[in-house]
A and B are shown apart, each in its own frame.
Chain A
């Protein structure tokens, strides 16, 4: 089985000439199927850019990038990606159920198959009673869960999440993290998760990739050995705090290295 994500010397430059900005430089990265990898770093370190390159929303200016052994474009055309953005990006004119059905409609599924799948996905994110509601009737956390249901509706092998819980309050955020972990366990999706919250990265991930800025590169990698079963207790485990410290120190090291 090819790696879920394989990057070799990937670089990204925006603009050209004197105004060119080097957003990413020499990114080497291999993610195995089933990994839950978090990209963490200060604002402007290029973590969202890297996610966009993986998802073929932009094309790298240097290096090689392979997704499931294919080009990112081919992977996108094969619908290997489910994406969740910082804003839920639900279509206002569709109710919850039809928002979840959107990918399936585009893929040409029959309406019964779509309805069944949407029902299953809404059960997964515990919103089955809200199928007929419109996005504006839902809270931010619920909207984001609909977005997750939509992203998973067509069983993509990769789930790309760009600060999905950034706009949520702390309590909702922790509940959402639990949901994502449960979904990740129930499906066999590889997750790439962009965040700037250290506890969030540690709680969720199997691997935390620490990025530093200008140009953005992966300065450290920390394996999170908290096991696969993580619950609210995990947030109080000594090992959890050790790992948080480790990630924080890795982030500080980068800042000091530059200063």
Chain B
């Protein structure tokens, strides 16, 4: 039994007794937040530093050339020295990724709501969407460059939006449709009109699916933006920077730019986690652990 099960179990037992003996809410005591935080994340932090140290040690020991794998110390040096350039490029890439993410997610949610509401729309659209979802959409990048122009930011934003659209749409639609049949029956017994069922049962039920797909979409949006940049366009973006530095054999610079991309991705992901906590505090994954 995990710690969480234990806590729930305890709450359960105490509640039964107190409920019938005058009903007093239950207090579940927890260890201090700092201790919980450190005991939970210490292994991850230790593993991270171990990997860095082993990486540094092995590359030194075997004198690995930096065009194959630079030492972490070289990457950090480059990261510090070129910080204004790579963060500037990172910012531009983030703008593409974030605006594509917003556009794609918005369209996806709109489609999902329509698909959950109208059976005909759903049956017509979903099979095609599932087929398109299996297509490697980043391959569209050169075509988008052709449609909107190499320097038009929408060439990149558009690719990101399409890449983000499908997983968010498919998962959100599933969440809207897979509401608990008992809950739907309850709504029926209350003579709730479809809009009420949507608002009070289907949408809350879809939130976990929606957030799970958004978490996947954060990483996808950066991948799509950088790949779209590889195919040309403005130079002060991560994709072009990485391509250029690699061509000049400045691999630590390229790795420093990848590090920037990864930090941006992590921040993006963390923002979604925060949003998730705000919008669905009731969910299983949010219960004290």
Chain A residues in the interface with B (C-beta under 8 A): 55-57, 76-79, 81, 83, 85, 87, 89, 91-94, 102-103, 105-106, 126-130, 132-134, 136-139, 141-142, 172, 175
Bound-complex Cα distance A91 to B203 (A)? 12
Residues of B within 8 A of A (CB-CB), count = 33
Q: What are 28 A-to-B residue pairs whose CB atoms are below 8 Å?
A: A57-B188, A76-B188, A79-B190, A79-B191, A83-B189, A85-B186, A89-B180, A91-B200, A92-B282, A93-B204, A102-B190, A102-B200, A106-B196, A126-B19, A126-B20, A127-B23, A129-B24, A129-B25, A130-B23, A130-B25, A137-B11, A137-B15, A137-B26, A138-B15, A139-B13, A142-B15, A172-B16, A175-B20
Closest A residue by C-beta to B12: A139
Bound-complex Cα distance A87 to B181 (A)? 12
CB distance from B276 to the nearest CB of A (A): 13
Chain B residues in the interface with A (C-beta under 8 A): 8, 11-13, 15-16, 19-20, 23-26, 180, 182-183, 185-192, 196, 200-201, 204, 207, 280, 282-284, 287
CB distance from B235 to the nearest CB of A (A): 47
Bound-complex Cα distance A126 to B19 (A)? 8
The reply to whether A85 and B182 contact each other, CB–CB distance below 8 Å, is yes
The reply to whether A127 and B19 contact each other, CB–CB distance below 8 Å, is yes
The reply to whether B15 and A139 contact each other, CB–CB distance below 8 Å, is yes
Bound-complex Cα distance A54 to B151 (A)? 67
Bound-complex Cα distance A138 to B19 (A)? 10
The reply to whether B16 and A142 contact each other, CB–CB distance below 8 Å, is yes
The reply to whether A126 and B23 contact each other, CB–CB distance below 8 Å, is yes
The reply to whether A89 and B23 contact each other, CB–CB distance below 8 Å, is no
CB distance from A192 to the nearest CB of B (A): 13
Bound-complex Cα distance A87 to B16 (A)? 17
The reply to whether A106 and B16 contact each other, CB–CB distance below 8 Å, is no
Q: Which residues of B contact A93 (CB under 8 A)?
A: 204, 207, 280, 282-283
The reply to whether B282 and A134 contact each other, CB–CB distance below 8 Å, is yes
Q: Which residues of A contact B12 (CB under 8 A)?
A: 139
CB distance from A87 to the nearest CB of B (A): 6
Closest A residue by C-beta to B201: A91
Q: Which residues of B contact A102 (CB under 8 A)?
A: 190, 200
The reply to whether A129 and B182 contact each other, CB–CB distance below 8 Å, is no
Closest A residue by C-beta to B25: A129
A136-B182 in contact given A57-B188, A91-B201 (Cβ < 8 Å): no
Bound-complex Cα distance A215 to B196 (A)? 38
Closest A residue by C-beta to B185: A57
Q: Which residues of B contact A91 (CB under 8 A)?
A: 183, 200-201, 204
Bound-complex Cα distance A165 to B20 (A)? 16
Bound-complex Cα distance A128 to B12 (A)? 17
CB distance from A180 to the nearest CB of B (A): 15
Bound-complex Cα distance A141 to B280 (A)? 25
Bound-complex Cα distance A102 to B16 (A)? 24
Nearest 5 interchain pairs by C-beta:
A93-B282, A93-B204, A83-B189, A139-B16, A89-B182
The reply to whether B19 and A76 contact each other, CB–CB distance below 8 Å, is no
Bound-complex Cα distance A127 to B15 (A)? 11
Bound-complex Cα distance A175 to B1 (A)? 30
Residue of B20, B191, B282 with most chain A CB atoms under a 10 A cut-off: B191
Bound-complex Cα distance A220 to B67 (A)? 88
Bound-complex Cα distance A83 to B23 (A)? 25
CB distance from B93 to the nearest CB of A (A): 36
The reply to whether B189 and A81 contact each other, CB–CB distance below 8 Å, is yes
Residue of B20, B201, B284, B287 with most chain A CB atoms under a 10 A cut-off: B20
Closest B residue by C-beta to A94: B282
Q: Which residues of A contact B207 (CB under 8 A)?
A: 93
The reply to whether B20 and A105 contact each other, CB–CB distance below 8 Å, is no
Residue of A87, A128, A130, A141 with most chain B CB atoms under a 10 A cut-off: A130
The reply to whether B191 and A76 contact each other, CB–CB distance below 8 Å, is yes
The reply to whether B19 and A87 contact each other, CB–CB distance below 8 Å, is no
The reply to whether A141 and B200 contact each other, CB–CB distance below 8 Å, is no
Q: Which residues of B contact A55 (CB under 8 A)?
A: 189
A129-B186 in contact given A76-B191, A102-B200 (Cβ < 8 Å): no
Bound-complex Cα distance A139 to B16 (A)? 6
Bound-complex Cα distance A130 to B14 (A)? 13
CB distance from B283 to the nearest CB of A (A): 8
Q: Which residues of A contact B188 (CB under 8 A)?
A: 57, 76
Bound-complex Cα distance A102 to B12 (A)? 24
Having A91-B204, A92-B282, one finds 7 other A-B pairs with CB under 8 Å, namely A77-B191, A102-B200, A106-B187, A128-B23, A130-B19, A137-B11, A139-B19
Q: Which residues of B contact A136 (CB under 8 A)?
A: 8, 284, 287
Q: Which residues of B contact A83 (CB under 8 A)?
A: 186, 189
Bound-complex Cα distance A137 to B25 (A)? 10
Q: Which residues of A contact B13 (CB under 8 A)?
A: 139
Q: Which residues of A contact B183 (CB under 8 A)?
A: 89, 91
CB distance from A88 to the nearest CB of B (A): 9
Bound-complex Cα distance A56 to B188 (A)? 9
The reply to whether B8 and A76 contact each other, CB–CB distance below 8 Å, is no
Bound-complex Cα distance A243 to B192 (A)? 41
